[in-house]
A and B are shown apart, each in its own frame.
Chain A
Amino acid sequence: MLKILKYSFFDLIRSRWSYVYLAFYLLLGFVLLFLNNDLSKAVITLMNVIIILVPLIGTIFGVMYYYSSKEFTELLLAQPIKRSSIFIGQYLGVALSLVMSLVIGLGLPFILYGLFESAAIWDFSLLLVTGAMLTLIFTALAFNIALYNENKIKGFSYAILLWLFLAVIYDGLFLLSLILFEEYPLDKFTLIATVFNPIDLSRILILLKLDISALLGYTGAIFNQFFGTSLGLISALGMLTLWVILPVWNIKSKAQKKDF
């Protein structure tokens, strides 16, 4: 598996898109710091960008890589290599190269700005961890979609729809249902609904750490009230980990049954 990971990883970091992604984060980091002049404020702005953008990039890169490396995959399938090694190796290759772009692209400007002497270092680290988690989750979801859809166009559409749903539509529906059922106790519903959306989970995770109750919103407040700050952090992180494990596990089992 490590060999496949290595080849996928190097194949990707040689591609132009990885550099575009990296350059984008570098630019974003510098511009934010220049405009905000304050590390903590920059972290909050960054959170809003990361939470929407990282899933989008993860999904698109995931499906794109799967479809474009189809030939490579077919070649590998005839070799004495386990199927799970092939697909998990490729998945990790994509996800880790994206994580690397994220960490370097945002880390560099913040370090240059004096991150290590600042109190914001833990907030920033958590932001990067969340970004990494979101990359792992959405790349895995994208691989799942691609494995189930031979048709590229269909696969792409489902991937974009998934992102759109979780990043935008989900919150709208959620809000709508809160308004519609405001006479009922909604704590449990809110809690469960949050757990089913990794983007919401990530937002709450970061806001809990930043301890800005004004930004927490209804869901965050309930989360905070239910779990408390530290337990809330841990359980949110645990849920995110589960969001990584389940799709990856499904990649493995689906790959085992598929015909090539």
Chain B
Amino acid sequence: MIKIENLHKKYGKNKILTGVDLEIPEKGIFAILGPNGSGKTTMIKSILGMVVPEKGKVFINGKETHPNGLYRKNLDYLPQIANFPGNLGVKELIKMIKDLRGTKANEDELIELFGLQGYLDKKLNNLSGGTKQKVNLVLAFMFDSPIIILDEPTSGLDPVAMLNLKRLIAKEKAKGKTILVTSHIMSFVEEISDEIVFLLEGKIYFKGSIQELREKTGEIDLEHAIAHILTENNA
């Protein structure tokens, strides 16, 4: 379970989060949506402790997060941009992260799922964007943590990998995990998520099921419902 209380964050004069309160119960897939720059990544990074908020608290499983970051052993995180040390091989990288984390991992299954067997000895610098994203996914899913946070998991993936990713997410959900996803691909969000959290101007604008959002906006599909909110707020 994740709970956020009155979270504030600004970069210089630019206020990103202005009092976010959010409670995410156990089990299920929660999509965090919002226009560009609405603070999705900042919120995720605050949960992870990578961003230090001005004000506010984050609780994971009822415990307030400690700045030493050791609570992150319960979290798996997929960063938005797959940045890796370029002179390492794929296999080396996976081994290193396993070693640093010191827990069991089921990377072989994931390597097979995304067809990365042929790339294991290649340097990360020489991989294409999509392949890097697959490595990124392997790193995020290989530990069996109760909470998974995915920042734009679909970027750069081909249709086959996309299908595999959806299957993988469904499998993890079936295990009873809490999964947070951000994405700009509405069909993907509509297909996988149980609930939606909509961020607008640094606050939670809406939280609920897709059905509720449709009713609230009077639009039939999610894409239009989101567009409806955005135009309404700009006008």
Instruction: List the interface of chain A (C-beta within 8 A of B).
Output: 3-4, 7, 11, 14-15, 69-72, 74-83, 256-260
Shortest Cβ distance from residue B30 to the other chain A in the assembled complex, whole angstroms:
19
* B79 and A74 form a contact (CB under 8 A): yes
B173 at the interface (CB under 8 A from A): no
Contacts of A79 on B, CB cut-off 8 Å? Answer: 72, 97, 100-101
Asked if A76 contacts B100 (CB within 8 A), the reply is yes
Binds A, one of B32-40, B48-56, B213-221, B223-231: B48-56
Q: Interface size (B, Cβ < 8 Å)?
A: 26
Taken residue by residue from 57 to 86, chain B's Cβ proximity to chain A (1 for < 8 Å, 0 otherwise) reads as 000000000011111110101010001111
B87 touches A11 (CB 8 A): yes
CA distance A218 to B85 in the complex (A): 49
B96 near A7: Cβ-Cβ < 8 Å: yes
A72: nearest residue on chain B (CB-CB)?
Answer: B85
B99 at the interface (CB under 8 A from A): yes
Query: Are the C-beta atoms of B86 and A81 separated by less than 8 Å?
Result: no
| Interfacial chain B residues near A76, Cβ < 8 Å | 100
Evaluate whether A69 and B79 lie within 8 angstroms (CB atoms) in the complex, with A3-B99, A78-B50, A81-B100 already known: no
Closest chain-A Cβ to B25's Cβ sits at a distance in Å of: 23
Q: Is the CB of B11 within 8 A of A259?
A: yes
Does B45 interact with chain A (Cβ within 8 Å)?
yes
Q: What are 28 A-to-B residue pairs whose CB atoms are below 8 Å?
A: A4-B100, A7-B96, A11-B85, A71-B84, A71-B85, A71-B86, A74-B50, A74-B79, A75-B83, A77-B48, A77-B69, A78-B79, A79-B72, A79-B97, A79-B101, A80-B70, A80-B71, A80-B73, A81-B69, A81-B72, A82-B68, A82-B70, A83-B68, A256-B52, A256-B67, A257-B52, A258-B52, A259-B51
Interface residues of B in 80-110 (CB under 8 A from A): 83-87, 96-97, 99-101
Q: How distant is the Cα of A82 from the Cα of B83 in the complex, in angstroms?
A: 20
**Closest chain B residue to A69, Cβ basis:** B85
**Chain A contacts of B86 at CB under 8 A?**
71
